[in-house]
């Protein structure tokens, strides 16, 4: 089958590889759609920290935002999965340690991540092997574009839940990339007053198109009381700004990851009695994201700028924006093309 393979920093191409076989407890999925994420780009460029700690290595087959149909079952798998449209959890714990047994498999000490770490092949390929325990069934109302947005949607929904707001309370989201906009959509569906902070007015145009009138740059951000702040940016200075802006006794959820270390004075947090929460992975938010998409309380499809074939995926990782792409931040790959 065809799969995108990263062979070194800045080196990638579609190769013919052996197709996956469903081991006991696994299924094989024919991939309908896969999203390209900032993590995939960092794996391509060589900037991803896992490449320097030995958690990831080349050659590497990326892709962890996906949906598809189950075509093969391994031993011990319920036959009812065959033919079903599914997506899956990226985070694969060992299943036996205290963290996994407590429902925190996303921080398992032996964690493998589909398309990211410990050599687990990803979804920028025609087929993908996945443990059945990671699967989530997709209703018919969740099309391929939404199906491949479940994983980032789960991350964004976890950040919104971490804000712990009541309907009508005011939320500020720092960053207007995929996660920031998804968080805004989920927060609005929960009844919160949502505002976004972006780098420039051009970057805020899509947010306004999506109906968010409160889309600001730093100079024109109004001095409103922000009950909670979500930092969905990759700017090292914004974690401190989040604490500065949030109301005393408010909450800050950190889901963006900066390439360089952030400087955050914990005295500012302490003296404002701020609660700060870090978000890693979408595991606990996947079911909620599927339900929101299926029930149409959240339509994330405008975030997808273009869908291209597998042959174009290396160019997308290198920063090429497909011809005719819309304003959204997300590029999808259809490996069947």
Structural contact between residues 308 and 331, judged by C-beta atoms closer than 8 angstroms: yes
User: Considering the entire predicted model, what is its pTM?
Assistant: 0.97
State the distance between the two ends of the chain, measured CA to CA, in whole angstroms.
13
**CB proximity list for 96: less than 8 A, separation 6 or greater:** none
Report which of 89, 93, 71, 242 is spatially closest to residue 173, judged by C-alpha positions: 242
DSSP 128: E
Domain 156-278 matching CATH 3.40.50.2020: the answer reads: no
Structural contact between residues 163 and 48, judged by C-beta atoms closer than 8 angstroms: no
Task: Report d(CA 274, CA 250) in Å as an integer.
Answer: 5
Give residue limits of the domains in the chain: 2-149+300-334, 156-278
Task: Report d(CA 208, CA 263) in Å as an integer.
Answer: 31
**CB proximity list for 113: less than 8 A, separation 6 or greater:** 64, 90, 91, 92, 120
In CATH terms, 2-149+300-334 corresponds, of 3.40.190.10, 3.90.180.10, 3.40.140.10, 3.40.50.300, to: 3.90.180.10
Question: For residue 260, what pLDDT is reported?
Answer: 87
φ, ψ (nearest 5 deg) of residue 215:
-120, 115
Per-position pLDDT tens, the chain of length 337: 999 999 999 999 999 999 999 999 999 999 999 999 999 999 999 999 999 999 999 999 999 999 999 999 999 999 999 999 999 999 999 999 999 999 999 999 999 999 999 999 999 999 999 999 999 999 999 999 999 999 999 999 999 999 999 999 999 999 999 999 999 999 999 999 999 999 999 889 999 999 999 999 999 999 999 999 999 999 999 999 999 999 999 999 999 998 889 989 999 999 999 999 999 999 999 999 999 999 999 999 999 999 999 999 999 999 999 999 999 999 999 999 9
Question: For residue 258, what pLDDT is reported?
Answer: 87
Distance of CA 144 to the CA centre of its chain: 16
């Amino acid at each position: 089958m065809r799969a995108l393979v990263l062979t070194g920093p800045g080196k990638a191409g579609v190769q013919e590889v052996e197709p996956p076989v469903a081991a006991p407890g696994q299924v094989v999925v024919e991939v309908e759609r896969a999203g390209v994420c900032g993590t995939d780009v960092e794996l391509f460029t060589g900037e991803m920290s896992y490449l320097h700690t030995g958690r990831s290595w080349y050659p590497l087959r990326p892709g962890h935002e996906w949906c598809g149909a189950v075509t093969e079952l391994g031993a011990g798998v319920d036959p009812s999965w065959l033919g079903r449209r599914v997506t899956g959890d990226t985070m694969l714990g060992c299943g036996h340690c205290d963290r996994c047994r407590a429902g925190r498999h996303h921080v398992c000490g032996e964690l493998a991540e589909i398309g990211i770490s410990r050599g687990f092949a990803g979804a920028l390929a025609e087929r993908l092997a996945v443990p059945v325990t990671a699967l989530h069934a997709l209703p018919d109302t969740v099309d391929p574009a939404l199906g491949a947005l479940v994983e980032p949607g789960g991350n964004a929904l976890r950040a919104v839940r971490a804000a712990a707001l009541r309907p009508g309370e005011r939320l500020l989201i720092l960053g207007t990339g995929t996660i920031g906009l998804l968080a805004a959509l989920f927060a609005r569906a929960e009844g919160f007053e949502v505002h976004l902070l972006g780098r420039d007015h051009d970057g805020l145009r899509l947010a306004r198109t999506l109906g968010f009138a409160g889309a600001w740059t730093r100079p024109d951000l109004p001095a409103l009381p922000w009950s909670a702040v979500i930092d969905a940016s990759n700017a090292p200075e914004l974690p401190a700004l989040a604490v500065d802006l949030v109301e005393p006794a408010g909450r800050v959820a950190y889901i963006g990851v900066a390439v360089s270390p952030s400087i955050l004075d914990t005295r500012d947090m302490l003296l404002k009695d701020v609660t700060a929460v870090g978000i890693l992975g979408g595991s606990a938010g996947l079911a909620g994201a599927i339900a929101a998409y299926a029930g149409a309380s959240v339509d994330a499809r405008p975030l997808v700028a273009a869908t291209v074939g597998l042959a174009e995926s290396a160019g997308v990782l290198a920063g090429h924006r497909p011809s005719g792409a819309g304003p959204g931040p997300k590029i999808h790959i259809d490996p069947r093309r």
